[in-house]
Amino acid sequence: MPMNSFSSNEPAAMPRRSFLGHASNGLSHIALASLLAGEARAFQPPGPLRPAIDPRHPQAPRKPHFNPRAAQVLVIFCSGALSHLDTFDYKPELIKRDGQPLPGDSKLITFQGENGSLTRPLWEFKPRGKSGKMTSDLLPNLGNLADDFCFLHSMTAKSNTHGPAENQMSTGFVLDGFPGMGCWVTYALGSGCGDLPAFVAIPDPRGVPQTGTNHWNSAFLPAAFQGTPFNSDKPIPFLDPPEGKKISEASSKRMLELLNKKHQERNPGDSELAARIAAFEMAGKMQLAAKQVGDFSRESPRTLEEYGANDRDNPLKARFARNCLLARRLLEKGVRFVQLFNGSYAMGEGVGNWDGHKFLKQQYSTHAPILDQPAAALIRDLKQRGLLQNTLVAFITEFGRMPTFQKGASGRDHNPAGFTVFLAGAGVKAPFSFGATDPFGYKAVENPLTIYDLHATILHLLGLDHERLSYYHNGIERRLTDVHGKVIEEILA
């Protein structure tokens, strides 16, 4: 059938630009530019490269634009804005000037209002690993893996509000309604795993992150590239028929197959009908595979212990640990993109996530043990199993926090002007640190980076040109990186 979304985004919609896109046919740019009669587009990069998607198998693996360094991605997303100053961005000057006003910006109004004095990190920093990277005691287990990490200390975000900023970190845009990073990646590359969703989002045990499904919604991309959210508490819905129904699974399935077969005989050559039949077969496989991947009974007691998956004293940590274990098992099965969330929507002052405005010490003392051991165990486990060789890990958050405490409070306000994320695994230098904030950790000053740059780099490592991976929507050739972004060459291994 003609009406499949993949081909309808193909040349008919954009005749000249896709011509440009596949312009390996000897026509020079100048000749093209003159063909385009006065429309100034010779400056354009060489056009979109749209993945050739088989409508019967939208998730089949596809070739990247060039040789990739990584084949899979694990994103660990700390919702609520994890303070870089209390974790990975060591600032001796901030410790020295504890209690003094922030120079030059004493009247500064940030998200929640006025700010008080500079406040030293609430946890001690110590050198870790062979590299002696200074990280704090808040996340000691992650800190101990510092030799495997490539820190980006000069990140900046466009918004200082959780909703738009989380949107930007996961979709490239501060507005609602753009596809998640994982949607773009699976749109481009499909998946190596036939019987599980290509893009899995693993929400925190406490609930979905602050902009909820925006992180994994396919928005204007076809729903085939939507992330499937599930975690170790809540499996993929509808894997089994509801109980207590007067239906026979096998016979009704046979009937369905007969109906589809007869219908296809009457409508030969229609690929969308074939696609639906294929999807049904795939669904059958997924019913089994999804249950297997969530079954930890064969994991060794040692593994479970390392993750903290049975920690009775901290049930939230145990549940997050099981999500971490699920992430590893999904990556092992070849799932292309796994986005693991730590922290949920706001459910009270700093309760659900890393949003430490008022009582940062107490709040982070609760959150850190949930994250630290399980996430560190996950990364270590990936490394031990050799999965880090082709998996890129991105540990991210939507923005940073202020070096000051808020006026009249014991916590830090939002700060999009400087924060830290780290990458690990396939294709990136480690141990390595890139970029820097000012001596107080307030603003990125050395090699400032945008979220566009981060996205461009992640796509680059996957063998994708962020300027050419696009999808036509409502008059615009949309990209994950909008019209911005530069691959951070300095950090590539």
Partner 1 sequence: MDMLLPWILPCLALAAEPGHWSFQPLQRPAIPAIEQVGTNPVDAFIQAKLKEKGLRPNPPASRAVLLRRLYFDLIGLPPSPQEVAQFIQDPSPMAYEKLVDSLLASPRHGERWGRHWLDVVRFAESNGYEMNQHRPNAWHYRDWVIRSFNNDIPYGQFIKEQLAGDQLGSPAATGFLVAGSWDQVKSPDPVLTANQRADELHDMISVTGSAFLGLTVGCARCHHHKFDPVKQPEYYGWKAVFEGVRHGESAIGPAASSTERLQALQQELAKAEEELARLEPLANPKANAPERLAVDPKGNRERIPPARARFLLFRVNATNTGTEPCLDEIEVFAPGGKENLALATKGVKASSSSNYQGSPLHKLEHINDGQFGNGRSWISAEAGKGWISLEFPKEIDIGLITWARDREGRYLDRLPVDYSISLGLAPDHWNIVASSSDRAPINKKGMTPVKQEGALAQLEKRKQELSKELLLLTSPLRAYAGNFENPPPTWRFHRGDPMQPKEQVSPASLRWLAKPFELVANAPEGARRIALANWITAQDNPLPWRVMANRLWHYHFGAGLVDTPSDLGVNGARPINQPLLDWLACELRDSGSIKALHRLICLSAAYQRAGTMEENNSRLDAGARYLWRFPPRRLEAEPIRDTLLALAGVLDQRLGGVGFDLFEPNTNYVKVYNPLADPGPETYRRMVYQSKPRMQLDSIFGAFDCPDAGQTAPRRTSSTTPVQALSLWNSPFANRMAERLAQRIREEAGPDPRKQVLLAFSLAYSRLPEADVEAASLALVEHFSLDSLCRALINANEFLFIE
Task: Tell me how far apart the alpha carbons of residues 257 and 57 are, in angstroms, rounded to a whole number.
Answer: 19
Binding-site member from 48, 164, 350, 356 for partner 1 (CB under 8 A)? 164
3-state secondary structure of 319: helix
> Is 346 among the residues that bind partner 1 (CB under 8 A)?
yes
72 and 388 Cβ atoms separated by less than 8 Å: no
- The least CB distance from residue 152 to partner 1, in Å, is 24
- The least CB distance from residue 464 to partner 1, in Å, is 21
Binding-site member from 126, 473, 484, 486 for partner 1 (CB under 8 A)? 473
Binding-site member from 31, 223, 288, 493 for partner 1 (CB under 8 A)? 223
**CB of 16 or CB of 380, closer to partner 1:** 16
Binding-site member from 77, 125, 341, 472 for partner 1 (CB under 8 A)? 472
- The least CB distance from residue 226 to partner 1, in Å, is 7
> Is 410 among the residues that bind partner 1 (CB under 8 A)?
no
Kindly identify the residues of this chain, within the stretch 104-123, that bind partner 1 according to CB under 8 A.
109-114
Binding-site member from 135, 186, 477, 479 for partner 1 (CB under 8 A)? 477
Type and span of the H or E element at 405: strand 404-406
- The least CB distance from residue 463 to partner 1, in Å, is 24
> Is 283 among the residues that bind partner 1 (CB under 8 A)?
yes
Q: Using CB under 8 A, count the residues that bind partner 1.
A: 101
Name residues whose C-beta falls within 8 Å of residue 154's C-beta, 6 or more positions apart in sequence: 418, 434, 435, 436, 437, 444, 445, 446, 447, 448, 449
| Span from 314-322, 341-349, 420-428, 451-459 in contact with partner 1 (CB under 8 A) | 341-349
Binding-site member from 34, 106, 267, 365 for partner 1 (CB under 8 A)? 267
**CB of 236 or CB of 492, closer to partner 1:** 236
Preceding amide of 68 cis, omega within 30? no
> Is 408 among the residues that bind partner 1 (CB under 8 A)?
no
Kindly identify the residues of this chain, within the stretch 6-65, that bind partner 1 according to CB under 8 A.
7-8, 12-15, 39, 41, 55, 58-59
- Whose structure tokens read 């031990």? 384
**CB of 175 or CB of 493, closer to partner 1:** 175
Task: Tell me how far apart the alpha carbons of residues 405 and 359 are, in angstroms, rounded to a whole number.
Answer: 10
Name residues whose C-beta falls within 8 Å of residue 486's C-beta, 6 or more positions apart in sequence: 452, 453, 456
**CB of 81 or CB of 393, closer to partner 1:** 81
- Whose structure tokens read 């003159």? 34
Q: Residue 173, exposed/middle/buried by CB under 10 A (0-12, 13-18, 19+)?
A: buried
Binding-site member from 258, 288, 295, 384 for partner 1 (CB under 8 A)? 258
Structural tokens at position 431: 């141990």
Q: What does the DSSP 8-state code read for residue 79?
A: T
Task: Tell me how far apart the alpha carbons of residues 480 and 465 are, in angstroms, rounded to a whole number.
Answer: 11
Binding-site member from 28, 67, 130, 238 for partner 1 (CB under 8 A)? 238
Query: Of the candidates 309, 372, 404, which has an alpha carbon nearest to the alpha carbon of residue 104?
Result: 404
Binding-site member from 32, 33, 273, 316 for partner 1 (CB under 8 A)? 273
Which amino acid belongs to residue 289?
A
Kindly identify the residues of this chain, within the stretch 173-212, that bind partner 1 according to CB under 8 A.
174-178, 197, 207-208, 210-212
The phi, psi pair for 128, rounded to 5°, reads -130, 155
Q: What does the DSSP 8-state code read for residue 90?
A: -
> Is 341 among the residues that bind partner 1 (CB under 8 A)?
no
- The least CB distance from residue 90 to partner 1, in Å, is 28
**CB of 66 or CB of 280, closer to partner 1:** 280
Q: What does the DSSP 8-state code read for residue 451?
A: H
End-to-end alpha-carbon separation of the chain, Å? Answer: 45
| Span from 183-191, 236-244, 293-301, 329-337 in contact with partner 1 (CB under 8 A) | 236-244
**CB of 79 or CB of 135, closer to partner 1:** 79
Binding-site member from 3, 30, 386, 489 for partner 1 (CB under 8 A)? 3
Q: What is the 3-state secondary structure (H, E, C) of 225-272?
A: HCCEECCCCCCCCCCCCCCCCCCCHHHHHHHHHHHHHHHHHHCCCCHH
Q: What are the DSSP E strand ranges found in 105-218?
A: 109-110, 113-118, 125-128, 133-136, 149-156, 199-202
**CB of 2 or CB of 301, closer to partner 1:** 2
77 and 214 Cβ atoms separated by less than 8 Å: no
- The least CB distance from residue 473 to partner 1, in Å, is 8
Per-residue binder mask for partner 1 (CB under 8 A), 70-109, x = binder: ---------------------------------------x
Task: Tell me how far apart the alpha carbons of residues 157 and 142 are, in angstroms, rounded to a whole number.
Answer: 24
| Span from 91-99, 144-152, 154-162, 181-189 in contact with partner 1 (CB under 8 A) | 154-162
Q: Return the bridge partners of 114, or none.
A: 109
| Span from 69-77, 131-139, 265-273, 440-448 in contact with partner 1 (CB under 8 A) | 265-273
| Span from 282-290, 333-341, 447-455, 456-464 in contact with partner 1 (CB under 8 A) | 282-290
